[in-house]
Amino acid sequence: MSYADIAVAVEQHVATVEIRRPPLNFFDHGLIRQIADAFAELDTDPNCRVIILASEGKAFCAGANFGTGQSDGSGNTDFTEDGFQNTTGTLYREGARLFDNKKPIIAAVQGAAIGGGLGLSLTADFRIACKEARFAANFVKLGIHQGFGISVTLPRLIGQQAAMNMLLTGRRVNGVEALELGLVDQLVDIDDLRASARALADEIAENAPLAVMSVRATMRAGLAEEIRTATDHELQEQQRLRSTHDAIEGIKAVSERRPGIFNGR
C-alpha cells in the first residue's frame, strides 16, 4: 500500500496509518480519501486486526484546508472561496467512508485536533492523548456550522450538554480536561503516546478477530448512516452561513488570531 500523504505499516496484527503533512497536518479531501482507502484495504488484510491512526509533526490535525492544500507558513490554512464551495461536499463524502471500516481504530493525538481535525479524531473508537493535546470545535468562531459529522460523534461521546458547551463556546480543551470529559480514553506522556496506543492495540488484537469485529459492528450500528445524514445537513448550513458577514469576519479574525467582531449579518 503506497500513498502520497500517509504511511501504512502492519506489524503483528496492528496497522499504523500515519498522516505525513507536518507540522500541522491540515487535511483536504485528497488526504481523507487516502485514509479511507487505507482503512478499506486494511479491512481485507487478515494480518490486520486493529488500526492506529497517528500523525507526524506537532499537531494531530489542525483542521481542514479549503484551498491549495498548502499552509501559508504561519500556521494558517490557505483558504479560498472556490475551495470551500466546491470541495466541502466531496470532503464529507470521503469522511463518511471512515465510518464504514470494520476494524477497531485507536487515534494517538498529540498537539492540536481542531475543527475538522477534532472530527477526524472522533472517527476512531479510542483516543489516547498527552497533556499537550488540544481539542476544539471552533466553528462558531469562524461564523459557520460544525461539520465532519461532529453533530453526531461529539454528543455520542461526551453527552449533549458537554457537546453543546464545546460547540457554542468554540473553546479549546486541553488533554487533562479532555480526559475528564471522556473525550479521550487515556492521558499519557507525549514520549509514551505511540507505545500506549500500541499497548491498547495489542490488548485488542490478542482476542478472536471475528468476535472483535462483530462486537464493534453492534456497538457502532447505524453510525455511518447517521454520519451521512448529518453531514448533508452540516454542509447545507455551512454553505448558507458562509455567505454571511459574520463568516467573512470570523475566518479573517481566526487567521489574524484575534476575537471576531460579529453583528449577526
112-153 pLDDT, tens digit per residue, is: 999 999 999 999 999 999 999 999 999 999 999 999 999 999
- How much is the pLDDT for 90? 85
Answer whether 120's CB lies under 8 Å from 61's CB: yes
- Kindly indicate the confidence band of residue 79, based on its pLDDT and cuts at 50, 70 and 90: low
- How much is the pLDDT for 72? 41
CA 24/CA 64 separation, integer angstroms = 10
Task: Read off the DSSP letter of residue 243.
Answer: T
Given a cut of 60, whether residue 226 has pLDDT beyond it is yes
- Give residues with Cβ within 8 angstroms of 36, minimum separation 6: 94, 95, 97, 98, 100
Average pLDDT over residues 151-167: 98
- Kindly indicate the confidence band of residue 80, based on its pLDDT and cuts at 50, 70 and 90: low
Answer whether 134's CB lies under 8 Å from 103's CB: no
- Give residues with Cβ within 8 angstroms of 48, minimum separation 6: 10, 13, 14, 15, 42, 103
- How much is the pLDDT for 9? 97
Task: Read off the DSSP letter of residue 144.
Answer: S
- What is the spatial order of strands in the sheet that 14-19 belongs to? 6-11, 14-19, 50-55, 105-109, 126-129, 186-187
CA 199/CA 169 separation, integer angstroms = 35
In this structure, of 21-30, 120-129, 176-185, 208-217, the range with the lowest mean pLDDT score is 21-30
Residue length, the chain? 265
- How much is the pLDDT for 255? 86
Nearest to 32 by CA among 89, 81, 78, 75: 89
Given a cut of 50, whether residue 71 has pLDDT beyond it is no
Handedness of CA 91, 20, 139, 245 (dihedral sign): negative
- How much is the pLDDT for 203? 98
- Report the helix count and the strand count for the chain, using DSSP H and E: 11, 9
Given a cut of 80, whether residue 77 has pLDDT beyond it is no
- Domains of the chain, each with CATH number or no CATH: 6-192+206-255 (3.90.226.10)
- How much is the pLDDT for 249? 96
Given a cut of 60, whether residue 43 has pLDDT beyond it is yes
Answer whether 250's CB lies under 8 Å from 141's CB: yes
Beta bridge mates, 27: 64
Please state the φ and ψ torsions of residue 242, each to the nearest 5 degrees.
-60, -25
Q: Cell 466531496 appears where?
A: 90
- Rounded to the nearest 10°, the torsion over CA 181, 118, 110, 224 is 90
Phi-psi region for residue 71, left (φ > 0), alpha (ψ -120 to 50) or beta?
A: beta
Answer whether 26's CB lies under 8 Å from 60's CB: no
Question: Percent of the chain beyond pLDDT 90?
Answer: 86
Residue type at 262 in one-letter notation: F
